[in-house]
Amino acid sequence: MAQSNPTHAEFTRLRSIVLKRLKRIKPDKLSREAREILKYGLPTIKDIRARHPPGKVRALSFEEELQQYIEYFRYLYNKPTLSASGQKTIVDKRLETLNLHYIVNDLGKFGMYMEKIREFYGTSKVASAEAAEYYSNNPQIEEGDIKANWDKIMQGFDQYRESERKRLSDILAQAAEVLRNRLLLGE
């Protein structure tokens, strides 16, 4: 009975894990790299061996090429975007970061909202922070259908922007008044 080669076993184990992980990810969540791997597949030991017929000299030996693939599979194995749990962790971290400044429960809806805001305003200057603040202060946006309620959302956003401009203008006017009074009093 022939002994099992540990390099071959590691190659097969990692290749199998990477492919299983990729198949668990929803198709719309796959990265470009993951889609290419699923489309073209990952080579098997047999595929690599076929590229190394006896007597043919190659830049890399069979074992060296096998080792390079093992390193690549380890890289894929450890890459968070290539596993469903890794993708969930990334989403959770993004939500955690967003929630330091805003109230966001559904990253997908928030992303769609911000995308539509940017699309609507095009190249004109609209502060993402202002749009995110409005989203955060209006939980009904997250609860409803963004596309179906878009006109109502934009009307509310425009009113919010106008009230924010007025509030800031009032603050500046008050600050100017304080400065004027201090100058008159010689403080």
Within a domain: 95:
no
Single-letter amino acid code for the residue at 96: E
Q: Is the pTM value of this prediction over 0.75?
A: no
Same domain for 108 and 165: yes
Q: Which of 56, 87, 118 is the last residue of a domain?
A: 87
Q: Which of 87, 110, 145 is the last residue of a domain?
A: 87
Contacts 24+ apart (CB under 8 A), 176-182: none
**Taking the chain, what is the end-to-end CA distance rounded to the nearest angstrom?**
98
171 and 108 in one domain? yes
Shared domain check, 117 and 68? no
Domain match, 112 and 175 both: yes
Round to whole Å and give the CA distance between 63 and 107.
45
20 part of a folded domain: yes
- In tens, the pLDDT along 76-87 reads 888 888 888 888
Domain-ending residue, one of 59, 87, 115? 87
Same domain (yes/no): 79, 109 = no
In a domain, 97, yes or no: no
What digits encode the pLDDT tens for the residues 85-129?
888 888 888 888 888 888 888 888 888 888 888 888 776 666 788
Residues in CB range of 33: below 8 A, 6 or more apart = 82
Is residue 92 in some structural domain? no
**Phi and psi, residue 64, nearest 5°:** -65, -40
